[in-house]
A and B are shown apart, each in its own frame.
Chain A
């Protein structure tokens, strides 16, 4: 183990010990994660679907319950952090692996979300960043890594 490896967590800790507290100073382009299942790595016929689209409405009871138990939403926020890191090229290998892992886990856990199609074994995702230009919202695809075989993604 090198000195750099040992010091890496301390480097991650430093911004917590000397915080900047610049919450929401500017409203940056916001990521959306979309995924598709493909027949082959070069397949362009996959249908892009939003990863964990928001519900139309959340009841007050659910909002209050989430004060104490909110794992899915907090994981979604982590996925957004990974998307931002990946777009900014900060530790991209880790962020890309996390995104593949969490999308694959959702697909396997919730077969109804996307019925497994043996003819489409490849998983791909892309990051669409939404921003405002004047009064209009614009979308830009900023990252689309190489597809991975769904069965090869460790989700345990």
Chain B
């Protein structure tokens, strides 16, 4: 995949993810409707490829107003990944030389890889994660399970230990998938399934679409490095 094709695909996927989020805000308070109404329009221009790169620059500027409105990300990690992707895309479009463009887009791909690897690293050093206790805590009392009956998973320690090690093992092994294109594609398919499960169990639908939008960056990076 060429840099231009990967950047364009990421732009379109990210704009679609931002439209999905923005539509949810249009049923919110008046100030939110204004901010996210503007964002829908800018995303439409990005998808249509009109007046590039200025709608993308506009989205980056608007992201600062949205950060100010909520005094931080509205939905934690998913919004942060969306911001990272957006600002990397803006830099890729605005930086003057091909090398700098590759550097800023490659940074997004590298951060995607790190998002899995570091998440696995911080878990495996925690004894509660290695025993499955941490995942039991997530189900038992965290704010995330979308229904009460999901909390019963906390009563299945063997299953949770296996699930914990599966998640940690996948996250830590993810960088190895960069060595071979079919392995990377398979790794991304597993990762997408992981995000889909999190969307269903914990209502984290924004993670699913935002992480998916950044996959072209790591596919391009793998081709560029090997």
Contact = CB atoms under 8 A, between A and B. Distances in A.
**Same complex origin of A and B:** yes
Interface of A: 8-10, 12-13, 15-17, 19-27, 30-32, 54-58, 63-64, 66-71, 73-75, 77-78, 80-81, 85, 91, 94-95, 101, 105, 130-132, 137, 155-156
26 contacts: A9-B65, A9-B68, A13-B64, A13-B67, A16-B73, A19-B111, A21-B122, A24-B119, A24-B123, A26-B128, A27-B138, A30-B143, A32-B143, A63-B146, A67-B199, A68-B20, A70-B203, A74-B21, A74-B203, A74-B206, A80-B143, A81-B73, A94-B71, A101-B29, A130-B141, A132-B137
B208 interface: yes
Given A9-B65, A68-B205, A71-B25, A57 B199 contact: no
Q: Which 7 pairs show the lowest CB-CB distances between chains A and B?
A: A71-B24, A16-B83, A25-B122, A9-B64, A27-B137, A21-B118, A16-B80
A5 B99 CA distance: 34
A53 B145 CA distance: 11
Interface of B: 20-21, 23-25, 27-30, 63-65, 67-68, 70-77, 79-81, 83-84, 87, 111, 114-115, 118-119, 122-123, 126, 128, 134, 137-138, 140-143, 145-149, 196, 199-200, 203, 205-206, 208
Nearest to B118: A21
A54 B146 contact: yes
Given A27-B137, A68-B20, A155-B29, A19 B84 contact: yes
A15 B29 contact: no
Contacts of B119: 21-24
Nearest to A28: B142
Contact of A12 (B30, B67, B143, B208): B67
Contacts of A71: 24-25, 27-28
Nearest to B141: A130
A20 B122 CA distance: 10
A17 B141 contact: no
